[in-house]
Structures are given as structure tokens and as C-alpha cells.
Chains A and B, each alone.
Chain A
């Protein structure tokens, strides 16, 4: 040994030891930190779902109201850079938001000023489309368009233009203040209350003939109005095929204008219980619901549902939104979702979401408000009062997600009652995502429960047998074999279940059920026969832990008997075809990928886990317990059932919990073998969609940081926490068991 180098080596070693201590400690803490980080990040992505929407004042422009005259309507472009006001006599003025300067003032109709006529009232629909009613009782429709342009350096300029959609000089509109018109290149629908207080409807259709000549055909109809009271408001949906009218006694009428005249009054009902005059009528984005505001501040949305009393669909009050304290004077729908911006006569402006029935935002009260509008993207709101236009930034990223839409029954448009629905996307733009997590959680639990019904008895009984009765040398092989089963990739199990087992079970469904019944029967018969040999040599030999081999013929035999008997049984009980019988007599549809095959697949994944842990719990009990029981004369079954099993029960319980946790988050098997239909139905013949499979199905299509994306993260967080709680419970139970029986060893 070289003593001279010793101090140096020692220093070295000590320094290295110190460094290693630090590295390992930091590394260890980091890893553990990563675990916490994981949950935090997942939650962090989903939390904005529940954030309160916010608003902030972007700009207040002063407007020379005297120079402009009466302002009929205001609007703002998508980038919140240009604001416009349509005002007297028939002009539109564009303002720059940043500087507040007037960019341009143009006339809406060059001809009109020459003829000395002016606009008397304006109706607005969709994105910057306006119907104008003139002093000569004519009507016309224009669209204001914003065209953003990017130059080579990437900076943006917003160009704007006014295009005419249609003109109806001979419309003879009376009461222009409540007249409504919807128009596009294919035609127009105009509705107004005539001088005789009948509702007048003009439908004009433009047709293009062979030579490109456009000819228009006008259809006039005068609708009798059996509604009590005087009509205060009319409203048309965007395609102009449904007409609503409200009266000063709170009554509402609805006409169907889709066919040719005569137009049918499909609904006439009292919309306000107190008979308060209807002061605001507005179709909600999508055109199915109508929002009704009354003079006493009540605000609710209605849509047609199938009623029991009559054929067809009748309007029904669906969502009651937070009421105002004063008369609701104007409602503007969001063009992105089912939000509605309401204004009352006291100058309160509120944004409410129809489906979730909650108030998203309310702006500070400003008296004397004259009109308000929302940007097409729904992130900007402008208000006008004499002398000023105020522009607000709105931040309401996830209006359709709330605790109640995620976890409670919601009455969606087109449904006859409130339901749990998951349907995140559809082909049309005005589709409202339906994001109830309940069907998915139900699917997870259904699949798991069916799997546990299959797996738990098998795994626990087999574990009991392996630990207590099986020959130790065979147990030494069986245990690792079952453990290896646990590592069969779930994608392989899923594939086998879906493409091999599911068609097989479908083809032999009766055989399948029959053998479930037959196995116990044949087993009992077998035991009765076996009893006769009690005490014989063969008997003694088999009963030394080889029973599991001896019953294999019993299992195969009962399967074979089931196969032979099945056609007769099916003929006798189910008229020859179980699936048809199920459908006709029970009303159950048989899906090929159903809960039965899922139970097999998930069960197969869970059995090795439950088996291994339960077996560990059973065989780690002190042998002295068992020895004492046997010495007192108990049989091997009595010992196992009355002594070993109760002592190990916490461990067995833990095994079941961990198996449950493993199955509930399993993805590939359910993704492949469930059919992925998000329905709530306990039937074993139907499929389901689980939380985990839903993530795998939907996340590739979910835009980053969108509502769906966050909801999927939320479902991942739910899965995480669920399994974490289950596993922790199991772990605590196991540790307690270890402590309790540790003293024996």
C-alpha cells in the first residue's frame, strides 16, 4: 500500500463523495419534481376552461354626433382596427381605431341622394350585412366588407368597401322601425307590419336563365295575426325561412316561410308569463333558437321541440338567462358561438351564454347607450352613445365549457330533453360542441366493471389456489407465467379481441352463454362422480395440487356440449336467432364490439395484475398461521377460507383496486374493441367510449389551446387523479398489512 498518496486520495474521494451526494440529491429531487410537474401541467392546460371571461376598454373615440346625424348602426372589423357608423342620411363613415380619425365617408347608395330620399331604419344580420328601409318605402340590402392586405414587410392595412346585395324600390314598407329583411344573391325575404297591421311578407327569388339574364320573382303574402296585442317586433332567421313576431302583451308567433305561400303559423303562444311586452327578438347563432327579451327584463331562449300533444315541433322555453333589471332593448348574437349580448334601457350591457345559462360578462353601466355590436370573431364589442364610440376587448375563450356542461345534463338545440352528450365536432360551422364528460366516464366505468366481473373472481380464486393448494414446484412455473402474461402488449390484446374474438362471439353467442351456464352444471356433476373415488389412489394423487389439470376436460367438455346443444336451445328459446330475438323482444341491438368482448379483453389485461398481487398477499402471510390452523384439525379449504383469506383480505382488496385502476385507464383495447360510441347504456350487447380512448381519438383533431384540447386535458387529469387516488389507497392498505403481519416473520 502506498501511504504517501493517501491524503490526496482521501481528499479526492471525499470531494467526489460530496459531489456525488449533490448530484444524486438534485437528480432525485428533480425526478420527483417532474412527477408533480406532470400533474400540474396537465391541470394547468385545463384550468383556463373555468376562467372567468374578462373585458378591458380598448379605446374611446369621440364622434361628432351632430355632424353625422342619427346613427343607425355601428360595426367593427376582425382586427379591431376600423370602426364604422351608418348614419343619416344614407352614409357610412369609417374611423381608424388607433387615431380616432375619419378614414372615409361614403354614401350607401349614390342614386338615393339625387332622388332626395334617405334611410329611415336599418336592420342588421350576419356579418356586416344591413337592410335599409328608405323614406320612399323602398328597401335595399348592402354588405360592408373588410379586406385585410399584407405588404411584403408583413404589415397590415385594412381596406373596406360597400357592396350592394339587392334593391327593392317598390317594396312599400310601412313601420320600417320593426321591418326585417334577409337577402343574398339568390333572393330575399322581407317582412313588415303593414298599414292594416297585418304582417306582410315579400319573398323574392332570383333565377338565372340560360343566357345569364337574372330575373326576379316576387311573392307577396299577407299573414293574419291571431296574436293578442299589437305587434312590437318582427324577426327573421338568417336564411329568411322562419318569421317571428312579438306583441306588447307578451305573445309570440312563428311562421314557416320555407315553402310557397300561404305561410303557416306554426306557433302562437304566450312568451312572457307576466304578459310583459316583448322588447327584443333575436335568432341565436345557428338559427334554431330565438332569444326573447321583455320589458320587465326577463330574457330567455326558445327552440322547437317535439311535443307529445301535437305532431311536429313546437316552440318551448328552454334556457332562462339571467334577467335584467330594466327592459331589454336590444340583443346581438355572437357569430361564433351561442353567446348573446343584451342591452337594457338603463344602459347595462351583458354577455350571456345560452346553453350554459350563465352570464359571462357585464360591462360598466353607461346611460344613454344607443346601439352596440360585436366583431365577427367575438373578441371585440363596440358601444355607441351620443358623442362617443367605445371599443372593448372581450376575452371569453371557452364560453361553451363550464362545470355544468361538462358534468350535468344540458338541453342542446335539436334535443327533446336535457341530456348528457359528447359530440365534439361536426361538419357544419355553426355547430355547437357538446362536451359532456359523463358518457365517457360512464363508458370507462362500464367497461371496467364488466371487466372486473370477469377478472376478479377468476384471478382471486386462481391466486388462492396457486398460493394454498397448488404444488409448489408447479406454482414456481405458473406464477412467472401469469406475470409474463401481464406484459402482452395491449395493442395485441385489442386486435385479437376486436378482429378475432368479437366476430367469433357474434357467431357463437348462444354457445357462449350456454357454456357459462353449463360449466358449473358439468362441474357439479363431475364433483359428484369424483366423490365416489374419494380416498382412492388416483384421488390422493390429484388432490395433491393437480386439480387444475384434472378439470381441463370438464371445461372443454362443457364447451363442446354447449356447441352441440346451442342450435336446439336457440331454436326453442329464441326462435332460431338470438340477435333478432333480442331486437324484437327486448329492443336491444347487438353490436359486434360490445361490453362482453371488452370484458374479456380488459379482463385479460387485469387478471395478471390482480392475480400476482393477490397471490403475493396470500403467500406472504406467516406460515405459522396456516400451520396452526391445520394443526387444530381444520381442512385445507377451511384453513384457506377462514384463516388465510381473511388475514390477507386487505392485500387482496388492494390487488382489486390496482387492477381497477389499471383497467380504467387502458386505452388500446377499448379503442380497438368498443366501437367508440359515446352512449349511456348498461346493456352488455352495446359498446361504449371511454375517457382514455376518447383522448386518443380526438386529440389529433383538437386545435392547440382550443376548448376541445383543454377538455381532453381535463379528462386526462381526471384519469390521472382517479388512478392516483386508487393506487395510493391500495398502497396504504398494503403497507398496513405488511406492518400487521411483519411481526410474525
Chain B
């Protein structure tokens, strides 16, 4: 394929068509450049979010002063003025998170050592300075305001853990109450009473309600006790702000942090990301429920799609009589992979949720109606829908993998006296396993990245409880769930403060991209290796 024909080469660069070749090369470069840029944008924005940036204090020309993280900088296009965007935080004081400043208005920029950044449960970050601590609930013998604050805050945080335990208990008792109530409803329904009361009536309910009230009032007391412990902060302009210690999640003084401290902080935030619960309508905190939901969804999907996919693939390749019908079916299955995912979603809604789910409700949960149990979106229906969506991928992969096995191997096995099934299980499937596995991984990657069908089959912005927990029957397949992909859509497009939520979306996007890219890279790598193993060179 070397084209080094000397006469032609030297005769005419253009006539030989070299510029055209270059043009095609340009197309490839453009594609690769776009891909690299997109991946870089996600990676840089996503990775940088947790790095504690320094707090800059601007003394402005009008005499005021402001503190915050430098977020961006640009030269305004037409006026040519240089502008700096500062994340000023303190949403409860200023109402907005970001502000632009003209460079010319900034008289002095400093990075005060004692500037403090607080991550709060509500209202986003606070930037300012510590004034004093007022914590009657904590015994302090420190004179230094700073140490006193740290000690008091740590103490309160420790005490807050009992609160978390109480929350868990409340959830637990609530669940018991709900079960007891639906049990009573069921009994009442059997007796022919159709009017349902939510008030506790059976002994179980009354007992649970009493315990619930006890824990709730204990919790209220604890909250009241902790809430009096406050610290007073000032913003750059000197406005005082009293903040309850229990509302503070994390305290940093980024300007005084060493690199190693910053690394530690970064890792700490990563741990929170993977294991923590979301806060502030998902724009802060962790992604644990979304990660859990995604993983469980993919797992359930695999349970449905893999066995059926293999069976159908084996049937098409090994059992069905090859003819026009099988050819048609094969084309149809291939095409199903190209059917828009939203169509699968619609099908899931019509067939699984309203069809099967509605029927289950009518038969087994009659006493709950009209409140749906299985008749509304849930992780079971979502994963069945995704299973249907990925079945073609598995079928095609199985078929292709079986197809690459030379006919001689089958004949060899059969001639040795093995039955068709033995040949399949002992010879063909093991040989095809890398290819089938590739299909699995591709299916999982597709399932993990799909969002549109989930949106109509049960994904929610914020699920109150996970689909698996410690309460009987442990797996709650009818529950709604959270998902990384939907998290991106929801936080990026439905949250009230998109600008402030953006960094979090980049983090989620990075996580999802990494997950999917790693999965499909492995799959493609495996497939290419398998191709080499079986392909017979003939040129």
C-alpha cells in the first residue's frame, strides 16, 4: 500500500490529490480536538472544585470592602475593561453568590491570614472573620477566640451525632408505623370498611406513635439545647452575623493552609462526595444516594437483560433455523439498539408502570388504592425498562461472539458424542465468553449513561430513602431512586441557583464520564483482543 511512485510524487503535489488528503486529516484532527476539549473542560472544572482557593479581600474605590474566592476573570469585549468575578458567598446577607468587579475599582487586593470560610448547612458558604464564640452549652477554658471557637464547634459536632442517631430512629419508627397502618387498612378492607383513617388505631400503631413522639420531642430538646451555641462572624464590610455552631459543616482558613493541609481538605471533600448525603437541593454535599441508585439500577438491569440476552442470542445463532425469518428477526434486533431511549421510557411507563404495576396494585394492594404502590415509577420498573433497552446489545454481542467460533469446533464436539446443549455449555459459551462479557460491559455503560427513559419511570431529584435499607423486606423495589445522570440534569437545569450549582454538576459529570469511559474502554479493549484471537488472516 506504499504509493511511492517517484514520477507521480515529484510531478504534481496538487494533481496527486495531496491537499485533499490533508483535508481529510484535518477532519480527524477537528474531531479529536473537540473530544479532547470536552473531556478537558469536564475534568478541569470537576477536579478543581474541591481545591480550597484563597480568599481575596478587595478594598474598593468607594471605600467598601468585600471578601471571597476569585472565580473568573475576563476582559469585557467592548469596553475593554478588565473584570474579576468574585464568589462572595454569604447568600443570607447579600442574596447573590457572585459579583463582578472592574479591576479599576479595586484599590487593593489582600489575602488576610485569618479570613475564614464556613461551609454551612443552609445558605451556602460564608466568608468573613471570626469575632467571638458564645457557647453556653460547652465548657471552655480557652481565652483565644480562635481556639475557643474550634473547640466549641467540635464539641457541638460531636453532640450532633446523637441527633443523626435520633433521625435514624425516627425514620425507623415511622416505617413501622406505616406498616402497622397498612396492615390495619388491609384488615379493614377485608372486613369491608373502605373509609380509611390515617389516625393510629391498632395497638401497634399507638405504640409506635408514642415512641415516635418521645423521640421527636427528645430531638427537639437536643436541637434547642444545641441551637443556643453560636459564634459571631463579620463579613469584610464589618456586618456582624450570628451563626449557630450546629449549622456549620466545615471550617477552613484557606489563606493560612499549607499545601498538605489543602490536599487533606481535598481528600476529605472527596470522601464526603462519595459517602455523604446531598445538601441544599443537591448543590452541595455528597452524592451517595445518587451513586447507590445508579449502581443498583445497573445491577438490577443486568439481572434482567443478561440472561435473556444470552438466551435470545444463543437461540438465534445455534437453535433457530437460519432462514428469512431469522434474518428478519436479526435485523429487527439490531435495529432495536437504535430505537430512541425515550421510546423505551414511554413503553416502560405504559406497560410496566400502568400495566403490570397497576395490576399488582389492584390485586395485592387494593387497600392502598388510589395511592399507588407499584403503579408509579420505581427502581424496579426503571431497571426493567433499561433491561429492555440493553437486551439488543447483549443479543448482538452473544451472536457475534458465537459467530466467530469456527464451525469445526462445533462439529468436533458433536462428533465426540456431546449433545447440542453440552456443546453449547462446555465448548461454545466458554469460547464466546470474552465477547459476551464485552456485550455486558457495553450494556452496563449504556445503562449507566441513559437518563431520558429514567425520567419517566421513577428517577427523582431527592429520594427520602434508599431502595435497600435495614427495614423489612430490605429491598424496596417499588421505591423511587436518585441517579447521577438525572442529578446532572436536575441540578444543572432545575435548581434555583444554576450559577452556584454548576461546579457540583461538573463534579457529577466527571464522575459519570469516568465511570462510563472506563467501562467502555475495558469492553472495547477486550473485544479487540478477542477479534485478534479468532480472526484468520487471509490477505
Contacts and interface: CB of A to CB of B under 8 A. Distances in A.
Contacts of A723: 335, 338-340, 343
A551 interface: yes
A530 B319 CA distance: 60
B489 A491 contact: yes
B509 interface: yes
A465 B485 contact: no
Interface stretch (B58-66, B168-176, B344-352): B344-352
Given A496-B41, A716-B342, A28 B315 contact: yes
Interface in B306-361: 308-309, 311-312, 314-316, 318-320, 329, 331-336, 338-347, 349-351, 354-355
A577 B24 CA distance: 35
A547 B342 contact: no
A481 B36 CA distance: 11
A352 to B, nearest CB: 31
B347 A38 contact: yes
B451 A489 contact: yes
Interface stretch (B220-228, B272-280, B282-290, B510-518): B510-518
Contacts of B18: 527, 543, 635, 637
Interface in B1-42: 1, 3, 5, 8-10, 13-14, 16-35, 38, 41-42
B450 A551 contact: no
Contacts of B5: 633, 635
A539 to B, nearest CB: 9
Interface stretch (B101-109, B258-266, B521-529): B521-529
A30 to B, nearest CB: 8
B492 interface: yes
B539 A604 contact: no
B425 to A, nearest CB: 8
Contacts of B422: 13, 17
B455 interface: yes
B77 to A, nearest CB: 7
A153 to B, nearest CB: 7
A567 B505 CA distance: 33
Interface residues of A, number: 124
Contact of A488 (B26, B316, B318, B517): B517
Contacts of B315: 24-25, 27-29, 31
B17 A492 contact: no
A411 interface: no
Contact of A489 (B13, B29, B450): B450
Interface string B482-505: 000110110011000010001001
Given A24-B319, A523-B26, A636-B21, A627 B329 contact: no
Given A21-B420, A24-B311, A527 B19 contact: yes
Among B9, B311, B346, B349, the most chain A Cβ lie within 10 Å of the Cβ of: B346
Interface stretch (B89-97, B128-136, B231-239, B441-449): B441-449
B24 A498 contact: no
A548 B513 contact: no
A85 B395 CA distance: 67
A490 B344 CA distance: 16
Interface stretch (A294-302, A378-386, A420-428, A456-464): A456-464
Interface in A691-733: 692, 695-696, 699-700, 704, 712-713, 716, 719-720, 723-724, 726-728, 731-732
B489 A604 contact: no
B513 A488 contact: yes
B492 A672 contact: yes
Contacts of B335: 723-724, 727-728, 731
Contacts of B354: 704
A215 interface: no
A531 B516 contact: no
Contacts of B420: 17, 20-21
Nearest to A549: B29
A498 B308 contact: no
A641 B420 CA distance: 48
A728 B335 CA distance: 7
Nearest to B510: A492
A551 B26 CA distance: 6
Given A458-B27, A719-B343, A21 B421 contact: yes
A494 B488 CA distance: 10
Interface in A476-499: 478, 480-496, 498-499
Contacts of B202: none
B28 A478 contact: yes
Nearest to B498: A499
Contacts of B29: 548-549, 551-552, 555
A500 B77 CA distance: 18
A552 B31 CA distance: 11
A492 B512 contact: yes
A555 B488 contact: no
A69 B388 CA distance: 67
Given A25-B315, A495-B489, A623-B539, A665 B343 contact: yes
A16 B419 contact: yes
A722 to B, nearest CB: 9
Question: For chain B, what secondary structure do more than half of its interface residues adopt (helix, strand, loop), or is it mixed?
Answer: helix
A487 B520 contact: yes
Contact of A731 (B309, B319, B331): B331
Interface string A627-670: 10010010111111100000000000000001001101111100
Nearest to A577: B78
Contacts of A32: 312, 329, 332-333
Contacts of B32: 478, 481, 548
Contacts of B346: 42, 695, 699, 712-713, 716
A491 B41 contact: no
A636 B17 CA distance: 8
A134 interface: no
Given A633-B5, A723-B335, A716 B343 contact: yes
Contact of B308 (A31, A622, A626, A636): A31
A20 B421 contact: yes
Nearest to B449: A489
Contact of A153 (B194, B332, B339, B424): B194
B24 A461 contact: yes
Given A464-B24, A465-B25, A495 B492 contact: yes
A499 B505 contact: yes
B538 interface: yes
Contacts of A42: 343, 346-347, 350
Given A21-B319, A42-B343, A465 B446 contact: no
A507 interface: yes
Given A45-B350, A489-B451, A641-B20, A627 B1 contact: yes
A548 B448 contact: no
Interface string A538-553: 0000010001111110
A531 B10 CA distance: 11
A489 B516 contact: yes
Interface in B446-482: 446, 448-452, 455-456
B28 A470 contact: yes
Nearest to B24: A465
B245 interface: no
A554 interface: yes
Among A460, A723, A732, the most chain B Cβ lie within 10 Å of the Cβ of: A723
Given A491-B449, A491-B488, A723-B340, A500 B3 contact: no
A486 B194 CA distance: 54
Given A17-B419, A492-B513, 5 more contacts: A25-B319, A458-B27, A465-B27, A489-B485, A630-B3
24 contacts: A13-B422, A14-B419, A24-B314, A24-B315, A24-B319, A27-B312, A28-B316, A35-B336, A459-B27, A461-B28, A484-B517, A487-B520, A491-B451, A499-B505, A535-B10, A547-B25, A548-B25, A604-B35, A635-B8, A667-B342, A671-B452, A696-B345, A723-B339, A732-B331
The 9 A-B pairs with the shortest beta carbon distances in the complex, nearest first, are: A665-B340, A28-B315, A637-B17, A489-B449, A461-B27, A547-B25, A465-B24, A667-B452, A27-B311
